[in-house]
Amino acid sequence: MSGAYAGALLFAVLALPPMRSALERVMIAHTLVQIPLLAVAGAFAAAALPAPVKARIAAWNKGGVAGTLLALIASSWWMVPRALDLALAAPLMEVTKFATLPLLVGAPIALSWRELGGIGRGFVIANVLPMWAVVGWLYAAAPVRVCNYYLVEEQVTAGVGLLAASVALAVAAGLRSFRTVAPRPG
Amino acid sequence: MRDVPWLRTAAASLVVCVAGGALFWYGSDGFRALTTEQARRRAIAHSPRVLPVVALEDQDGRPFTLGDYRGRPVAVDFVYTQCQSICPLLSAGFQRLDRAERSRPAGRQLQLVSISFDPRDTPARLREYASHYDADGRAWRFARVRDTRDLAALLGAFGITVISNGRGDFQHNAAVHVVDGHGRLARVLDMGAPPAEVARAVATNARREPRVSSR
């Protein structure tokens, strides 16, 4: 159950008004710290669900397919510049962000990742990371300011940050997969 | 019954894709407005906005409101005189519009108003700025709100977000706003839109506004 506490604690810390305003004041902190951590909080909580509940969900999520699709669609929305602006401008959208990232991104990933299997995971990683890299590149290279609430310099920083994070994750995933397929001694 | 989990999963996946796609579609105006600025322009083009009556004063301290222009379309932009980045481009675009309007054989069709949102901009500063761009102060006026408490309402009605970088500079939506003869914000065009494009927007808008709103 400690995972549930960790998830709840992380969520509570992120929801503290001073923490919220500190992270949302800077675009890269909003996009690359707050949003991923909200998903992580949901993942911790979901991993700690009791086994019968997990089994009931798994009956609708064979191979992790439905959960992965859910997480992909919901996470894509929060990469749209307008969504970031709306979260800052409209309290209802901010609440939606705090609800959907744990429940519709983090939790389904936690409940689906193992189910996906090696090929499924590889497929997701190989599709998502280039997409993130392209989104980051677009943010960095766009000739216009795409968010009303962030300065154009911040947009470039956030874009480069997302690009760098995608490359780093790709390298990590690559190293890991080569280590896995390398012939084992004996 | 071995296949039931796959059927359920297929059903769940279908629901996720349809519902997710529909919400995404709704949230992005059919994938056509991924930024707030795109959404603002589409919403205004779709249904022109009635603007609040806000007391302005121009570079000579003369009071006026955008409502005074009834019957004559106005192009409005938002600037501040100390801006080094985007406002000079906006103002150069307005200067081009102004020249095109002056040389129009059939007479001037479009009035120009540049509104400053910076409390530091006094009429004297606006006058000096206007002279840089050869504005006559009549057909192209530089203005500010008379009461700074009205500024938020004015910016809100236009959909302008102004953010400070903390070093005395601002970033803000840069665009050409066409206010039609009924005093409604009717179209938003790219900064630096060529005079012919602005004239076309004014003309097409005039054609589709036969019903005079009584407001």
**CA contacts within 13 A on the Cβ side of A2:** 0
Q: What is the CA radius of gyration of chain B?
A: 22
CB contact under 8 A, A63 and B165: no
Per-residue pLDDT tens digits for B79-117: 999 998 889 999 999 999 999 999 998 889 999 999 999
Q: How far does B155 lie from chain A, in Å, by closest CA?
A: 13
Per-residue pLDDT tens digits for B152-189: 999 999 999 999 888 888 999 999 999 999 999 999 99
Q: Cβ contacts (< 8 Å) between A63 and chain B: which residues? A: 9
In three-state secondary structure terms, A109 is helix
- Domains of chain B, by residue range, sit at 4-32, 45-207
Whole-number pLDDT of residue B208: 72
What residue ranges in A23-132 does DSSP mark as E strands?
A: none
Confidence label for B215 from pLDDT (cuts 50, 70 and 90): very low
For residue B112, give the DSSP letter.
Answer: E
Q: How far does A66 lie from chain B, in Å, by closest CA?
A: 4
Confidence label for A183 from pLDDT (cuts 50, 70 and 90): low
Considering Cα of B146, then B149, then B155, then B161, what sign does the dihedral take? positive
Whole-number pLDDT of residue B95: 96
Q: Cβ contacts (< 8 Å) between A149 and chain B: which residues? A: 161, 163
For the question of an ipTM over 0.95, the answer is no
Q: What number of helices (H) and strands (E) belong to chain B? A: 6, 10
Confidence check: pLDDT of A150 > 90: yes
Instruction: Please state the pTM of the whole predicted model.
Output: 0.88
The structure tokens listed for B155 are 């910016």
Q: Cβ contacts (< 8 Å) between A65 and chain B: which residues? A: 9, 13
Query: Which residues of A lie closer than 8 Å to B, measured between beta carbons?
Result: 58-63, 65-66, 69-70, 73-74, 76-77, 80-83, 85-86, 89, 144-152
Q: Taking each helix axis from N to C terminus, what angle separates A107-141 and A152-181, rounded to the nearest 10 degrees?
A: 130
The structure tokens listed for B24 are 């995404």
Is the CB of residue B144 less than 8 Å from the CB of residue B57?
Answer: yes
Per-residue pLDDT tens digits for A85-135: 999 999 999 999 999 999 999 999 999 999 999 999 999 999 999 999 999
Distance from C-alpha of B80 to C-alpha of B131, rounded to nearest angstrom? 14
Q: Using a CB–CB cutoff of 8 Å, tell me whether B164 touches chain A.
A: no
Find the residue in B nearest to A64 (Cα).
Answer: B9
Per-residue pLDDT tens digits for B136-152: 999 999 999 999 999 99
CATH class of B45-207: alpha beta
Judged by phi (left if over 0) then psi (alpha if -120 to 50, else beta), residue B172 lies in beta
Q: Using a CB–CB cutoff of 8 Å, tell me whether B163 touches chain A.
A: yes
Distance from C-alpha of B93 to C-alpha of B115, rounded to nearest angstrom? 15
Overall average pLDDT of the A64-75 stretch: 97
Q: How far does A179 lie from chain B, in Å, by closest CA?
A: 32
